[in-house]
């Protein structure tokens, strides 16, 4: 589809009209109340709407207008199958353009999107990701070495550090210690973005240098400065390229098909935005679930020892199903779209709800229960389980995410024995765009077989005592 058609579709919003001149049913509450309910507890809001109005319902969300939720396998498959031609993801992602930039994959569709995806596929495909495993293992060990027996650890905080290190050192290939130090402070603050900035474009004003928008702009400028300095240095150094994303994208220059600094910056910030916290949060939910489900932890530990990745992957998939980090992906119809007897005009905003699909009682018996057996030895049909989406915008980091989660899980469970700090399940809490465990997936360290920093086993013969 051409850019002009897509622009027209964006301008057409929010004129959506459906069957009998209306949209699918939905809550009648004022938009502001629906927005508050949706922002405070998106899973509960979506599930109660689906229960009451069926799998196609309309919510009114400030900043997005009328949003048509869709959560049947058939409806989702139809949208994702026709994604490239009939839907616009960039229009749905418009609210985060100021972070990821206009060259981001998230801000493109059609031919432009295909071309940008082609550039990023090579560094993120499975074969190349395997190159990152050694450094990932080292990063996990650095993190867990200090976990003292008897102490309580908030795994979400640990995984945020680990996934950020993996992204900066393995995926981006940054080695400069002062840049790493600064990014360790700045990136978590950047990703902890005030949701009001996303929901209310009206507050995106400088207001004399005070307020959330001005603060965010200063933060983004600092991160950009570091990223541009890294790109400049890496372009200037003519050494043999590594396997990281920056080296591979710059090596691409040699084919005469190079990326500009601005494009590279947008790619890196996109990977940080969509790849780092998602993986950290999903890892936290994994441990929250397996430590609180009788028998699950023992089963995963045994599988790690035996190198049986089918069980580990099943346990990861079940955690993604039972505790999604985000509920929906957004799409805007470019032309007229027919679904379940409704006729949706161009400009209709859809929330393709992978979260509601995965929690559907029609597809999953006792959907709230965590059970590795749902995915082992046979996985559910791919029409019922799409952890990484589907169609033209399917997650480009799926291999990286799976390899990273396996590496972190096995790195911990090989050395450390953990138990839940409390037996009760942790509640879901929205944090920016993420749904995180309320207490950060707290565990108690029962045993840590890794020698601690400075312990005799780590000292070399010539080291000072
Ligand atoms: C458990 C972790 C992850 C989950 C559950 C996840 C899930 C998803 C989903 C559902 C989409 C589809 C969005 C859409 O269709 O609009 C997506 C897109 C994307 N993801 Fe992931 N993701 C994860 C980790 C990662 C990682 C580690 C990276 C890379 C470092 C990454 C990079 C991307 C990119 C670049 C896109 C956009 C693709 C495009 O628009 O063509 N993701 N992800």
Domain annotation covers residue 1? no
Specify the residue with its C-alpha closest to ligand 1, atom 40: 393
Q: pLDDT at position 460, please? A: 43
CA-to-CA distance for 145 and 450, rounded, in angstroms?
6
Q: Indicate which atom in ligand 1 lies nearest the CA of residue 330.
A: 16
Q: pLDDT at position 403, please? A: 97
Q: What is the CB neighbour count within 10 angstroms for residue 337?
A: 22
Pick from 243, 241, 242: which is nearest to 129 by CA?
Answer: 243
CA-to-CA distance for 99 and 109, rounded, in angstroms?
18
Specify the residue with its C-alpha closest to ligand 1, atom 41: 393
Give the model confidence (pLDDT) of 380-435 as tens digits. 899 999 999 999 999 999 999 999 999 999 999 999 999 999 999 999 999 888 99
Distances (CA, A) of 358 to 105, 127, 211, 275, 351: 26, 29, 38, 21, 14
Residue scoring higher pLDDT (198 or 67): 67
Overall average pLDDT of the 159-184 stretch: 97
pLDDT at 464 over 60: no
Which residues neighbour 403 within 8 Å (Cβ) at sequence distance 6 or greater?
Answer: 126, 129, 130, 132, 133, 136
Q: What is the CB neighbour count within 10 angstroms for residue 184?
A: 13
Pick from 278, 272, 314, 276: which is nearest to 406 by CA?
Answer: 314
Confidence of residue 176 (pLDDT cuts 50, 70, 90): very high
CA-to-CA distance for 367 and 358, rounded, in angstroms?
8
Overall average pLDDT of the 16-24 stretch: 60
State ipTM: 0.99
Q: SS3 for 440?
A: coil
Q: pLDDT at position 457, please? A: 46
- Domain of 274, in residue numbers: 36-448
Q: pLDDT at position 451, please? A: 82
Reading the block at residue 416, the tokens are 């450390």
Domain annotation covers residue 19? no
Beta bridge partner(s), residue 331: 350
CA-to-CA distance for 167 and 340, rounded, in angstroms?
42
Residue scoring higher pLDDT (359 or 8): 359
CA-to-CA distance for 278 and 354, rounded, in angstroms?
15
Domain annotation covers residue 407? yes
Confidence of residue 5 (pLDDT cuts 50, 70, 90): very low
Task: Name the one residue in this structure whose structure tokens are 């990023």.
Answer: 120
Give the model confidence (pLDDT) of 272-321 as tens digits. 999 999 999 999 999 999 999 999 999 999 999 999 999 999 999 999 99
Domain annotation covers residue 11? no
Pick from 305, 302, 301, 300: which is nearest to 319 by CA?
Answer: 300
Overall average pLDDT of the 374-381 stretch: 92
Overall average pLDDT of the 256-263 stretch: 80
Contact between 370 and 319 under an 8 Å Cβ cutoff? The reply is yes
Provide, rounded to the nearest whole percent, the portion of the chain with pLDDT above 70.
91
Terminal Cα distance for the chain, rounded: 68
Overall average pLDDT of the 314-333 stretch: 96
Beta bridge partner(s), residue 447: 417
Beta strands in 267-398 (DSSP E): 329-333, 337-339, 342-344, 349-352
Confidence of residue 459 (pLDDT cuts 50, 70, 90): very low
pLDDT at 254 over 80: no
Domain annotation covers residue 298? yes
pLDDT at 4 over 90: no
Overall domain count for the chain: 1
Question: Half-sphere exposure of residue 188, counting CA atoms within 13 Å on the CB side?
Answer: 16
116 C-alpha to ligand 1 centroid (Å): 15
Residue 59: give its domain's CATH number: 1.10.630.10
Window from 229-233, 246-250, 316-320, 354-358 with minimum mean pLDDT: 246-250
Residue scoring higher pLDDT (6 or 327): 327
pLDDT at 465 over 90: no
Domain annotation covers residue 102? yes
Confidence of residue 8 (pLDDT cuts 50, 70, 90): low
Distances (CA, A) of 262 to 218, 232, 267: 18, 11, 9
Mean pLDDT over each residue of the chain, to the nearest integer: 90
Q: pLDDT at position 253, please? A: 60
Q: What is the CB neighbour count within 10 angstroms for residue 325?
A: 22
CA-to-CA distance for 305 and 410, rounded, in angstroms?
8
Domain annotation covers residue 455? no
pLDDT at 240 over 70: no
* Alpha helices in 61-176, H assignment, sequence order: 73-81, 83-86, 89-92, 97-100, 110-124, 126-129, 133-144, 155-165
Pocket of ligand 1 (CB under 6 A): 89, 105-106, 117, 270-271, 274-275, 278-279, 282, 320, 329, 387-389, 393, 395-397, 400-401
CA-to-CA distance for 302 and 133, rounded, in angstroms?
21
Residue scoring higher pLDDT (13 or 302): 302
Overall average pLDDT of the 103-114 stretch: 94
Q: SS3 for 338?
A: strand
- DSSP assignment of 229-242 equals HHHHHHHH--S---
5 C-alpha to ligand 1 centroid (Å): 26
Overall average pLDDT of the 177-188 stretch: 97
Specify the residue with its C-alpha closest to ligand 1, atom 24: 275
Question: Residue 158, annotated ligand binder?
Answer: no
Contact between 69 and 353 under an 8 Å Cβ cutoff? The reply is yes
Confidence of residue 6 (pLDDT cuts 50, 70, 90): low
Q: Indicate which atom in ligand 1 lies nearest the CA of residue 92.
A: 16
For ligand 1, mutation pick of 388, 391, 392 (most atoms within 8 Å of CB)? 388
Pick from 179, 187, 178, 184: which is nearest to 142 by CA?
Answer: 184
279 C-alpha to ligand 1 centroid (Å): 10
| Cα dihedral sign, 176-97-437-287 | negative
Specify the residue with its C-alpha closest to ligand 1, atom 1: 279
Exposed, middle or buried, 166 (CB in 10 Å: 0-12/13-18/19+)?
buried
Contact between 320 and 374 under an 8 Å Cβ cutoff? The reply is no
401 C-alpha to ligand 1 centroid (Å): 9
Domain annotation covers residue 28? no
């Amino acid at each position: 589809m051409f850019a002009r058609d897509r622009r027209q579709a964006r301008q057409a919003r929010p004129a959506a009209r459906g069957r009998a001149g209306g949209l699918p049913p939905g809550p009648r509450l004022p938009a502001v109340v629906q927005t508050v309910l949706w922002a405070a507890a998106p899973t509960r809001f979506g599930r109660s709407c689906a229960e009451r109005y069926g799998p196609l319902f309309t919510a009114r969300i400030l900043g997005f207008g009328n949003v048509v939720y869709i959560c049947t396998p058939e409806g989702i498959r139809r949208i994702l199958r026709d994604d490239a031609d009939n839907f616009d993801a960039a229009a749905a992602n418009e609210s985060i353009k100021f972070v990821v930039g206009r060259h981001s994959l998230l801000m493109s569709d059609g031919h432009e999107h295909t071309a940008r995806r082609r550039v990023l596929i090579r560094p993120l495909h499975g074969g190349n990701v395997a190159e990152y495993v050694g450094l990932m293992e080292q990063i996990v060990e650095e993190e867990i070495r200090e976990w003292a027996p008897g102490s309580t650890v908030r795994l979400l905080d640990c995984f945020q550090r680990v996934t950020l290190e993996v992204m900066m050192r393995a995926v981006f290939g940054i080695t400069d210690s002062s840049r790493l130090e600064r990014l360790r402070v700045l990136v978590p603050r950047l990703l902890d973005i005030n949701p009001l900035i996303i929901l209310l474009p009206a507050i995106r004003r400088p207001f004399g240098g005070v307020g959330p928008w001005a603060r965010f702009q200063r933060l983004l400028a600092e991160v950009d400065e570091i990223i541009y300095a890294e790109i400049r240095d890496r372009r200037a150094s003519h050494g043999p390229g590594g396997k990281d994303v920056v080296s591979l994208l710059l090596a691409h220059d040699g084919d005469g098909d190079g990326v500009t600094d601005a494009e590279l910056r947008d790619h890196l910030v996109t990977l940080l935005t969509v790849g780092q916290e998602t993986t950290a949060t999903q890892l936290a939910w994994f441990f929250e679930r397996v430590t609180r489900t009788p028998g699950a932890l023992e089963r995963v530990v045994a599988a790690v020892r035996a190198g049986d990745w089918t069980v580990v992957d099943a346990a990861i998939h079940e955690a993604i199903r039972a505790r999604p980090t985000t509920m929906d992906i957004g799409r805007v119809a470019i032309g007229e779209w027919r679904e379940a007897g409704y006729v949706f005009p161009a400009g209709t905003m859809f929330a393709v709800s992978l979260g509601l699909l995965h929690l559907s009682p029609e597809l999953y018996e006792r959907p709230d229960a965590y059970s590795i057996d749902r995915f082992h030895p046979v996985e559910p049909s791919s029409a019922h389980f799409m952890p990484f989406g589907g169609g033209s915008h399917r997650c480009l980091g799926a291999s990286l995410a799976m390899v990273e989660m396996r590496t972190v899980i096995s790195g911990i469970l090989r050395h450390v024995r953990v138990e839940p700090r409390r037996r009760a399940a942790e509640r879901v809490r929205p944090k920016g765009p993420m749904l995180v465990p309320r207490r950060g997936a707290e565990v108690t360290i029962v045993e840590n077989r890794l020698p601690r920093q400075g312990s005799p086993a780590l000292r070399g013969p010539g080291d000072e005592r």
